[in-house]
């Protein structure tokens, strides 16, 4: 941590909220990696550190981090988006931006990414339609919050298989919410 000693986590001791606490832990544990990642993008050490700081500040400003399970991944994503913004600002206007133009800059809105009440009800019903294994894996992991390796031990399958079950549960329910019938959703899911 010595080499980033001048780089203090924003908020500091005055903000010991669970959110600030987690962000601070993330800062100490992963700042080195984050700065390395940003340096590759920005090709500039000072800028990389600045963007890392800014990303932490953004993370601290999130209200509903309770819902952001993948806080660390989200931190990297925010940082990556900020870096893209910076690179874009520097380019002359005439030069076209090759990557998919909009959307890259703003991190997807985790906070607003919620189901409407009716959708939630439909979602609950769709979970009942899943195959028993798939349903068990999904409910144990997402509702009971058991880590995937625990779910794997209980179901007697590999962690890889558990991920697959959970992923398929999500996709099936997504298709159903998009208006597909149970049969059509299953068919779309099994399209290989």
Partner 1 sequence: MNNPAEQTRRLEEAGDWLVQLQEEGVSDEAIVSWVRWCESSAENRRAFERLLPLWQAFDTEQAHGALPEVALPLARRRRPRLVRTVWSLVATVLVVVAIALFVRVSGPGSQPMVLQAVATLQSAPGELRPARLPDGSRLDLGARSALSIDFAGTQRHVELQEGEAFFEVEPDRKRPFVVYAGDTRITAVGTAFNVLKSAGRVTVTVQEGAVEVSPAQQRSESLVASAGQQVTYDASRAPQPQLREVDPAAALAWRGGHLEYLSEPLLSIVSTLNRYTETQLVIADSLLGELRYTGTIEVHSIPEWVQALPRIFPVRIRHGERQLVIEAR
Binding residues among 107-166 for partner 1 as defined by CB under 8 A: 108, 110, 113-115, 117, 119-120, 123-124, 127-128, 135-136, 139-148, 150, 153-156, 162-164, 166
Q: Site for partner 1 (CB under 8 A): which residue of 37, 39, 48, 134?
A: 37
Based on CB atoms, which residue is closest to partner 1, 86 or 104?
Answer: 104
Q: Site for partner 1 (CB under 8 A): which residue of 4, 7, 88, 174?
A: 174
CB of 24 to partner 1, least distance (A): 10
Nearest alpha-carbon partner for 175 in 190, 154, 164, 160: 190
Nearest alpha-carbon partner for 82 in 102, 107, 60, 103: 107
Based on CB atoms, which residue is closest to partner 1, 94 or 179?
Answer: 179
Cβ pair 141, 162 in contact under 8 A: yes
Based on CB atoms, which residue is closest to partner 1, 50 or 180?
Answer: 180
Question: How many residues bind partner 1, per CB under 8 A?
Answer: 74
CB of 85 to partner 1, least distance (A): 13
Nearest alpha-carbon partner for 62 in 116, 107, 123, 2: 107
101 Cα distance to chain centroid: 21
Cβ pair 84, 104 in contact under 8 A: yes
CB of 50 to partner 1, least distance (A): 18
Based on CB atoms, which residue is closest to partner 1, 50 or 135?
Answer: 135
CB of 121 to partner 1, least distance (A): 9
CB of 176 to partner 1, least distance (A): 10
Q: Name which of residues 62 to 91 contact partner 1 (CB under 8 A).
A: 63-64, 66-67, 69-70, 72-73, 76-77, 80, 84
What are the Cα distances from residue 39, in Å, to 35, 45, 129, 133?
6, 6, 47, 44
Q: How far apart are the first and last CA of the chain?
A: 47
Contacts of residue 81, Cβ cutoff 8 Å, sequence gap at least 6: 104, 105, 106, 107
């Amino acid at each position: 941590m010595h080499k980033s000693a001048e780089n203090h986590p924003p908020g500091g001791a005055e903000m010991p909220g669970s959110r600030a606490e987690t962000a601070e832990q993330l800062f100490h544990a992963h700042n080195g990696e984050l700065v390395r990642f940003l340096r590759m993008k920005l090709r500039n050490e000072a800028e990389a550190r600045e963007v890392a700081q800014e990303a932490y500040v953004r993370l601290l400003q999130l209200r509903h981090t309770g819902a952001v399970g993948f806080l660390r991944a989200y931190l990297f994503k925010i940082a990556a988006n900020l870096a893209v913004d910076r690179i874009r600002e520097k380019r002359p206007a005439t030069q076209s931006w090759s990557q998919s133009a909009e959307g890259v800059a703003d991190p997807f809105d985790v906070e607003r990414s919620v189901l409407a009440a009716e959708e939630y009800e439909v979602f609950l019903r769709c979970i009942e339609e899943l195959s028993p294994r798939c349903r068990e894996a999904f409910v144990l992991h997402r509702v009971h919050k058991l880590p995937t390796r625990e779910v794997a031990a209980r179901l007697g399958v590999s962690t890889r298989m558990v991920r697959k079950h959970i992923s398929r549960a999500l996709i099936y329910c997504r298709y159903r919410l998009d208006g597909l019938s149970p049969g059509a959703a299953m068919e779309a899911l099994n399209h290989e």
